[in-house]
Amino acid sequence: MRLRTSKITGEGKEFVSVVVAVRNEQANIKGLILSLVQQDWSDYEIIIVDDYSNDGTWQKLKAVDYEKVRAVRNYLSQGKKFALYCGVQQAKSNYIIVTDADCRHSKYWLRLMALPLIKEGVSLTMGNVMIRYASLWSLDALEGLEFASLQASGLGSAAMGRPFMANGANMGFVRSLWQEADLCRGHPSGDDMFLLHEAVGKGLHVRVVADKRATVWTHAQANIWRFLDQRIRWASKTGLYKDWWSSAVAVIVFLSNLLLIVWTLVSFGKFLIFFVLKAIVDLLLLGLYLSFYKQTKLLVWFLVEEILYIFYAVSIGIFSQFIGFEWKGTRYSK
Protein backbone atom coordinates (compact mmCIF):
# COMPACT_ATOMS: atom_id res chain seq x y z
CA MET A 1 0.00 0.00 0.00
CA ARG A 2 1.41 3.37 -0.99
CA LEU A 3 -0.30 6.17 0.91
CA ARG A 4 1.26 9.57 1.30
CA THR A 5 -0.09 12.93 2.33
CA SER A 6 -0.95 15.18 -0.61
CA LYS A 7 0.39 18.70 -0.82
CA ILE A 8 -2.23 21.39 -1.28
CA THR A 9 -1.22 23.22 -4.41
CA GLY A 10 -3.46 25.59 -6.31
CA GLU A 11 -6.09 28.14 -5.44
CA GLY A 12 -9.84 27.58 -5.24
CA LYS A 13 -10.68 29.69 -8.25
CA GLU A 14 -12.61 27.14 -10.31
CA PHE A 15 -16.29 26.76 -9.52
CA VAL A 16 -17.11 23.38 -7.92
CA SER A 17 -20.43 21.71 -7.13
CA VAL A 18 -20.97 19.60 -4.01
CA VAL A 19 -23.97 17.27 -4.35
CA VAL A 20 -25.56 15.39 -1.47
CA ALA A 21 -28.57 13.07 -1.70
CA VAL A 22 -30.50 12.86 1.58
CA ARG A 23 -33.45 10.83 2.78
CA ASN A 24 -34.89 11.05 6.30
CA GLU A 25 -31.81 12.85 7.61
CA GLN A 26 -33.39 15.63 9.68
CA ALA A 27 -31.02 14.87 12.56
CA ASN A 28 -27.96 15.33 10.36
CA ILE A 29 -28.85 18.29 8.14
CA LYS A 30 -27.53 21.02 10.44
CA GLY A 31 -24.20 19.30 11.06
CA LEU A 32 -23.78 18.49 7.38
CA ILE A 33 -24.33 22.07 6.27
CA LEU A 34 -22.06 23.53 8.94
CA SER A 35 -19.36 21.10 7.84
CA LEU A 36 -19.71 22.05 4.17
CA VAL A 37 -20.08 25.83 4.33
CA GLN A 38 -16.74 26.24 6.15
CA GLN A 39 -14.67 24.77 3.29
CA ASP A 40 -11.40 26.47 2.34
CA TRP A 41 -12.49 27.06 -1.25
CA SER A 42 -13.57 30.37 -2.66
CA ASP A 43 -16.23 29.49 -5.24
CA TYR A 44 -18.57 26.54 -4.83
CA GLU A 45 -22.19 25.55 -4.42
CA ILE A 46 -23.83 22.93 -2.24
CA ILE A 47 -26.82 21.14 -3.76
CA ILE A 48 -28.76 19.01 -1.30
CA VAL A 49 -31.33 16.77 -2.96
CA ASP A 50 -34.19 15.49 -0.82
CA ASP A 51 -35.00 11.94 -1.88
CA TYR A 52 -38.66 11.57 -0.91
CA SER A 53 -38.09 12.06 2.82
CA ASN A 54 -41.08 11.46 5.07
CA ASP A 55 -39.68 13.06 8.20
CA GLY A 56 -38.79 16.72 8.72
CA THR A 57 -35.80 16.75 6.34
CA TRP A 58 -37.37 18.88 3.63
CA GLN A 59 -38.76 21.39 6.11
CA LYS A 60 -35.30 21.81 7.63
CA LEU A 61 -33.74 22.20 4.20
CA LYS A 62 -36.22 24.90 3.20
CA ALA A 63 -35.29 26.84 6.32
CA VAL A 64 -31.56 26.84 5.53
CA ASP A 65 -30.21 30.36 4.98
CA TYR A 66 -26.76 30.04 3.45
CA GLU A 67 -25.92 31.62 0.12
CA LYS A 68 -23.99 28.59 -1.10
CA VAL A 69 -26.69 26.04 -0.23
CA ARG A 70 -29.44 25.10 -2.65
CA ALA A 71 -32.12 22.59 -1.61
CA VAL A 72 -33.97 20.70 -4.34
CA ARG A 73 -36.28 17.71 -4.43
CA ASN A 74 -35.78 14.50 -6.36
CA TYR A 75 -38.13 14.88 -9.30
CA LEU A 76 -37.37 11.41 -10.70
CA SER A 77 -37.97 7.96 -9.25
CA GLN A 78 -37.14 7.33 -5.58
CA GLY A 79 -33.58 6.25 -4.87
CA LYS A 80 -30.15 7.69 -4.24
CA LYS A 81 -28.96 7.29 -7.83
CA PHE A 82 -31.94 9.24 -9.14
CA ALA A 83 -31.49 11.90 -6.45
CA LEU A 84 -27.83 12.28 -7.36
CA TYR A 85 -28.80 12.46 -11.03
CA CYS A 86 -31.12 15.37 -10.22
CA GLY A 87 -28.33 17.11 -8.35
CA VAL A 88 -25.73 16.59 -11.07
CA GLN A 89 -28.18 17.80 -13.71
CA GLN A 90 -28.68 21.06 -11.80
CA ALA A 91 -25.04 21.54 -10.87
CA LYS A 92 -23.35 24.56 -12.43
CA SER A 93 -19.86 23.02 -12.47
CA ASN A 94 -18.25 20.26 -14.47
CA TYR A 95 -16.48 19.18 -11.27
CA ILE A 96 -18.76 17.31 -8.89
CA ILE A 97 -17.90 16.24 -5.34
CA VAL A 98 -20.32 13.97 -3.47
CA THR A 99 -20.70 12.99 0.15
CA ASP A 100 -23.38 11.69 2.54
CA ALA A 101 -25.61 13.47 5.02
CA ASP A 102 -24.11 11.85 8.10
CA CYS A 103 -20.52 12.77 7.17
CA ARG A 104 -18.32 15.48 8.63
CA HIS A 105 -15.35 17.07 6.86
CA SER A 106 -12.22 19.08 7.52
CA LYS A 107 -12.08 22.55 5.99
CA TYR A 108 -9.55 21.30 3.41
CA TRP A 109 -11.73 18.42 2.19
CA LEU A 110 -13.23 20.10 -0.87
CA ARG A 111 -9.89 21.51 -2.01
CA LEU A 112 -8.15 18.15 -1.77
CA MET A 113 -10.91 16.26 -3.57
CA ALA A 114 -11.37 18.85 -6.33
CA LEU A 115 -7.85 19.89 -7.30
CA PRO A 116 -6.85 16.61 -9.01
CA LEU A 117 -9.97 16.90 -11.19
CA ILE A 118 -9.22 20.51 -12.08
CA LYS A 119 -5.44 20.64 -12.33
CA GLU A 120 -4.36 17.12 -13.29
CA GLY A 121 -6.98 15.78 -15.68
CA VAL A 122 -8.18 13.14 -13.23
CA SER A 123 -11.67 11.79 -13.95
CA LEU A 124 -12.49 10.41 -10.51
CA THR A 125 -11.11 11.04 -7.04
CA MET A 126 -11.74 8.76 -4.09
CA GLY A 127 -11.03 9.62 -0.47
CA ASN A 128 -10.92 7.86 2.86
CA VAL A 129 -13.98 7.27 5.06
CA MET A 130 -13.85 6.33 8.74
CA ILE A 131 -16.40 5.43 11.40
CA ARG A 132 -16.87 7.75 14.37
CA TYR A 133 -16.93 6.08 17.79
CA ALA A 134 -17.26 7.51 21.29
CA SER A 135 -15.49 4.67 23.10
CA LEU A 136 -12.81 2.25 21.98
CA TRP A 137 -14.64 -0.50 23.89
CA SER A 138 -17.90 -0.07 22.00
CA LEU A 139 -19.42 -2.01 19.11
CA ASP A 140 -19.03 1.20 17.09
CA ALA A 141 -15.26 0.78 17.37
CA LEU A 142 -15.50 -2.86 16.29
CA GLU A 143 -17.51 -1.76 13.26
CA GLY A 144 -14.90 0.92 12.72
CA LEU A 145 -12.20 -1.73 12.42
CA GLU A 146 -14.29 -3.86 10.06
CA PHE A 147 -14.98 -0.81 7.91
CA ALA A 148 -11.29 0.13 8.04
CA SER A 149 -10.43 -3.27 6.57
CA LEU A 150 -12.67 -2.50 3.59
CA GLN A 151 -11.14 0.93 3.15
CA ALA A 152 -7.59 -0.41 3.47
CA SER A 153 -8.26 -3.00 0.77
CA GLY A 154 -10.00 -0.57 -1.57
CA LEU A 155 -7.61 2.37 -1.21
CA GLY A 156 -4.54 0.14 -1.16
CA SER A 157 -5.52 -1.68 -4.35
CA ALA A 158 -6.35 1.63 -6.05
CA ALA A 159 -3.03 3.15 -4.97
CA MET A 160 -1.30 0.21 -6.66
CA GLY A 161 -3.21 0.76 -9.90
CA ARG A 162 -6.04 -1.76 -9.41
CA PRO A 163 -9.06 0.21 -8.12
CA PHE A 164 -12.08 -1.96 -7.36
CA MET A 165 -13.93 -0.22 -4.52
CA ALA A 166 -15.10 3.35 -3.96
CA ASN A 167 -17.32 5.01 -1.38
CA GLY A 168 -19.87 7.62 -2.37
CA ALA A 169 -19.44 9.32 0.99
CA ASN A 170 -16.15 10.75 -0.30
CA MET A 171 -15.81 10.90 -4.06
CA GLY A 172 -15.35 13.41 -6.87
CA PHE A 173 -15.77 13.12 -10.62
CA VAL A 174 -16.12 15.06 -13.82
CA ARG A 175 -19.68 15.55 -15.05
CA SER A 176 -19.09 13.71 -18.35
CA LEU A 177 -18.18 10.50 -16.54
CA TRP A 178 -21.45 10.50 -14.62
CA GLN A 179 -23.53 11.31 -17.69
CA GLU A 180 -22.02 8.50 -19.75
CA ALA A 181 -21.95 5.87 -16.99
CA ASP A 182 -24.19 2.82 -16.77
CA LEU A 183 -25.05 3.01 -13.07
CA CYS A 184 -27.53 0.10 -13.05
CA ARG A 185 -30.25 2.46 -11.90
CA GLY A 186 -32.59 -0.49 -11.34
CA HIS A 187 -30.49 -1.44 -8.31
CA PRO A 188 -30.80 0.88 -5.28
CA SER A 189 -27.14 0.60 -4.32
CA GLY A 190 -23.77 1.00 -6.00
CA ASP A 191 -23.67 4.46 -7.58
CA ASP A 192 -20.09 4.76 -6.34
CA MET A 193 -18.92 1.29 -7.39
CA PHE A 194 -20.50 1.36 -10.83
CA LEU A 195 -19.11 4.83 -11.50
CA LEU A 196 -15.63 3.65 -10.53
CA HIS A 197 -15.97 0.61 -12.80
CA GLU A 198 -17.04 2.89 -15.65
CA ALA A 199 -13.89 4.98 -15.19
CA VAL A 200 -11.67 1.90 -14.98
CA GLY A 201 -13.31 0.31 -18.01
CA LYS A 202 -12.61 3.41 -20.07
CA GLY A 203 -9.02 3.62 -18.91
CA LEU A 204 -9.59 6.98 -17.24
CA HIS A 205 -7.37 8.40 -14.53
CA VAL A 206 -8.54 7.53 -11.01
CA ARG A 207 -6.79 9.15 -8.05
CA VAL A 208 -6.73 8.12 -4.39
CA VAL A 209 -6.63 11.30 -2.31
CA ALA A 210 -4.54 9.81 0.48
CA ASP A 211 -4.51 12.76 2.81
CA LYS A 212 -5.69 12.74 6.42
CA ARG A 213 -7.41 16.08 5.86
CA ALA A 214 -9.51 14.58 3.06
CA THR A 215 -10.96 11.89 5.35
CA VAL A 216 -14.67 12.11 6.05
CA TRP A 217 -16.14 10.70 9.25
CA THR A 218 -19.46 8.87 9.26
CA HIS A 219 -21.48 7.19 11.99
CA ALA A 220 -21.75 3.49 12.79
CA GLN A 221 -25.00 1.61 12.21
CA ALA A 222 -27.58 1.91 14.99
CA ASN A 223 -27.61 -1.82 15.78
CA ILE A 224 -26.38 -5.19 14.54
CA TRP A 225 -29.44 -5.71 12.33
CA ARG A 226 -28.90 -2.38 10.54
CA PHE A 227 -25.25 -3.31 10.10
CA LEU A 228 -26.08 -6.70 8.54
CA ASP A 229 -28.77 -5.16 6.36
CA GLN A 230 -26.29 -2.59 5.06
CA ARG A 231 -23.68 -5.24 4.27
CA ILE A 232 -26.26 -7.38 2.48
CA ARG A 233 -27.22 -4.34 0.40
CA TRP A 234 -23.60 -3.70 -0.50
CA ALA A 235 -22.95 -7.34 -1.41
CA SER A 236 -26.18 -7.71 -3.41
CA LYS A 237 -24.75 -5.80 -6.35
CA THR A 238 -21.66 -7.96 -6.90
CA GLY A 239 -23.45 -10.01 -9.57
CA LEU A 240 -23.83 -6.80 -11.61
CA TYR A 241 -20.13 -5.95 -11.68
CA LYS A 242 -18.59 -5.59 -15.13
CA ASP A 243 -15.07 -5.10 -13.80
CA TRP A 244 -13.33 -8.49 -13.62
CA TRP A 245 -10.94 -7.47 -10.83
CA SER A 246 -13.79 -6.42 -8.54
CA SER A 247 -15.61 -9.69 -9.20
CA ALA A 248 -12.41 -11.66 -8.64
CA VAL A 249 -11.76 -9.98 -5.29
CA ALA A 250 -15.31 -10.73 -4.12
CA VAL A 251 -15.00 -14.38 -5.13
CA ILE A 252 -11.57 -14.79 -3.52
CA VAL A 253 -12.75 -13.26 -0.23
CA PHE A 254 -15.83 -15.50 -0.16
CA LEU A 255 -14.00 -18.73 -1.07
CA SER A 256 -11.07 -18.16 1.28
CA ASN A 257 -13.40 -17.69 4.24
CA LEU A 258 -15.58 -20.62 3.16
CA LEU A 259 -12.44 -22.77 3.06
CA LEU A 260 -11.62 -21.75 6.61
CA ILE A 261 -15.08 -22.84 7.77
CA VAL A 262 -14.70 -26.19 6.01
CA TRP A 263 -11.30 -26.76 7.61
CA THR A 264 -12.68 -26.09 11.09
CA LEU A 265 -14.81 -29.20 10.51
CA VAL A 266 -12.35 -31.53 8.75
CA SER A 267 -8.82 -30.43 9.65
CA PHE A 268 -8.18 -28.03 12.51
CA GLY A 269 -4.45 -28.07 11.76
CA LYS A 270 -4.99 -26.76 8.21
CA PHE A 271 -7.45 -24.22 9.56
CA LEU A 272 -4.95 -22.94 12.10
CA ILE A 273 -2.13 -22.61 9.56
CA PHE A 274 -4.27 -20.80 6.99
CA PHE A 275 -5.90 -18.61 9.65
CA VAL A 276 -2.53 -17.49 11.04
CA LEU A 277 -1.15 -16.74 7.56
CA LYS A 278 -4.30 -14.78 6.64
CA ALA A 279 -4.21 -12.91 9.95
CA ILE A 280 -0.58 -11.87 9.39
CA VAL A 281 -1.38 -10.47 5.95
CA ASP A 282 -4.50 -8.70 7.23
CA LEU A 283 -2.62 -7.26 10.20
CA LEU A 284 0.14 -5.87 7.97
CA LEU A 285 -2.38 -4.24 5.64
CA LEU A 286 -4.54 -2.86 8.44
CA GLY A 287 -1.51 -1.77 10.42
CA LEU A 288 -0.17 0.30 7.53
CA TYR A 289 -3.55 1.87 6.87
CA LEU A 290 -4.41 2.63 10.50
CA SER A 291 -0.90 3.89 11.19
CA PHE A 292 -1.19 6.37 8.32
CA TYR A 293 -4.54 7.62 9.61
CA LYS A 294 -3.42 7.48 13.27
CA GLN A 295 -6.07 5.00 14.37
CA THR A 296 -3.92 2.00 15.37
CA LYS A 297 -5.77 1.78 18.70
CA LEU A 298 -8.59 0.05 16.80
CA LEU A 299 -6.32 -2.99 16.51
CA VAL A 300 -7.33 -4.02 20.03
CA TRP A 301 -10.34 -5.56 18.24
CA PHE A 302 -8.24 -7.27 15.56
CA LEU A 303 -8.44 -10.89 16.73
CA VAL A 304 -12.17 -10.63 17.48
CA GLU A 305 -12.85 -9.09 14.09
CA GLU A 306 -10.63 -11.62 12.31
CA ILE A 307 -12.56 -14.56 13.77
CA LEU A 308 -16.02 -13.08 13.32
CA TYR A 309 -15.24 -12.07 9.74
CA ILE A 310 -14.85 -15.69 8.65
CA PHE A 311 -18.49 -16.50 9.35
CA TYR A 312 -19.82 -13.02 8.59
CA ALA A 313 -18.25 -12.84 5.10
CA VAL A 314 -19.64 -16.22 4.05
CA SER A 315 -23.10 -15.56 5.50
CA ILE A 316 -23.40 -12.13 3.88
CA GLY A 317 -22.15 -13.50 0.56
CA ILE A 318 -24.87 -16.16 0.55
CA PHE A 319 -27.76 -14.14 1.99
CA SER A 320 -27.13 -11.20 -0.36
CA GLN A 321 -27.94 -13.36 -3.36
CA PHE A 322 -31.22 -14.70 -2.01
CA ILE A 323 -32.83 -12.26 0.40
CA GLY A 324 -33.73 -8.59 0.17
CA PHE A 325 -32.87 -5.69 2.43
CA GLU A 326 -34.34 -2.52 3.86
CA TRP A 327 -32.88 0.88 3.10
CA LYS A 328 -34.14 4.28 4.19
CA GLY A 329 -37.55 2.88 5.08
CA THR A 330 -38.04 0.98 1.79
CA ARG A 331 -37.89 -2.80 1.49
CA TYR A 332 -36.12 -4.22 -1.58
CA SER A 333 -36.60 -7.87 -2.53
CA LYS A 334 -34.44 -10.07 -4.72
Residues 171 and 119 placed together within one structural domain of the fold: yes
Considering the domain architecture, whether residues 198 and 303 belong to the same structural domain is answered as no
Final residue belonging to a domain, choices 192, 223, 254: 223
pLDDT in tens, 21-75: 999 999 999 999 999 999 999 899 999 999 999 999 999 999 998 999 999 999 8
Please say which residue of 223, 257, 291 terminates a domain.
Answer: 223
**Of 223, 238, 273, the domain-final residue:** 223
Residue 236 included in any domain: no
Q: Is residue 235 part of a domain?
A: no
269 in a domain, yes or no?
yes
Does some domain include residue 5?
A: no
Query: Within a domain: residue 284?
Result: yes
Q: What confidence score (pLDDT) does residue 40 get? A: 94
For β-strands 44-50 and 104-105, DSSP reports them as unpaired
Residues 100 and 164 in one domain: yes
Determine the pLDDT at residue 331. 75
Same domain? For 260 and 297 the reply is yes
Residue 304 placed within a domain? yes
Determine the Cα–Cα distance for residues 42 and 265; give it in Å rounded to an integer: 61
44 is a domain residue? yes
- Examine the domain organization and report whether 203 and 291 are in the same domain: no
pLDDT of residue 7: 56
Strand (E) or helix (H) holding 257: helix 244-266
| 3 state SS of 288 | helix
* Pick from 331, 13, 281: nearest CA to 152: 281
Shared domain for 134 and 274, answered yes or no, is no
**Which secondary structure element, helix H or strand E, spans residue 78, and what is its range?**
none
- The answer on 101 and 210 residing in a single domain is yes
Q: What is the CATH number of the domain that holds 195?
A: 3.90.550.10
User: Whole domain around residue 170: which residue ranges?
Assistant: 16-223
> What are the tens digits of pLDDT across the range 221-241?
989 999 999 999 999 888 888
Residue 319 lies in a domain: yes
Same domain? For 176 and 251 the reply is: no
* Structural domains of the chain, count: 2
At residue 159, the pLDDT reads 86
Q: What is the largest CA-CA distance in the chain?
A: 65
Residues 39, 140, single domain; the answer is yes
- Specify whether 267 is located in the same domain as 133: no
Q: How far apart (Å, rounded) are the C-alpha atoms in residues 219 and 327? A: 16
Question: Can you list the residues of the chain whose pLDDT is less than 50?
Answer: 1-5
pLDDT of residue 324: 82
Q: Mark whether 50 and 138 lie in a shared domain.
A: yes
Both 192 and 281 in one domain: the answer is no
What 3-state class would DSSP assign to 256?
Answer: helix
Q: Give the three-class secondary structure for 162.
A: coil
